[in-house]
Amino acid sequence: MTSRTHGSLGRRAHQPGDAIEPRRGEARELFGATWDAAAQANAAALDAPDACQQFNATHWNYFRYPEAGDTPSSLFDQLCWLRDAGLASDDCY
């Protein structure tokens, strides 16, 4: 798999915006499984059968393999930042 395909899997599996830090283990597992499923679907769409295996081998799923330098914030914190920035709607739906 080329780095272009690998990068495409990562971008497509997690768009748009910042990663959200789950507050509970169940949410982390759900987010990780969702990202894995999106990577698998994108690999199939790209006709790259080995792409998912490479995606997993290189630990691109943040929720399964958090990186020390990443500092995602909770959804609550991100909504507060939107409110404090003056956005009229600071809700999630």
Q: Note the pLDDT tens digit of each residue in 39-76.
A: 999 999 999 978 888 888 999 888 999 888 888 888 88
Q: What is the pLDDT of residues 1-38, one digit of tens each?
A: 444 444 554 444 444 456 788 889 999 999 999 999 99
Q: What is the pLDDT of residue 41?
A: 93
In the chain, domain spans:
3-84
**Residue 25 tokens, joined:** 């283990």
Question: Among 22, 45, 23, 66, which residue's Cα sits nearest to residue 13?
Answer: 45
Evaluate the CA torsion angle 51, 57, 58, 59 in order and state its sign. Answer: positive
Buried b (16+ CB within 10 A) or exposed e, 19-48: bbbbeeeeebeebbeebbebbbebbeeeeb
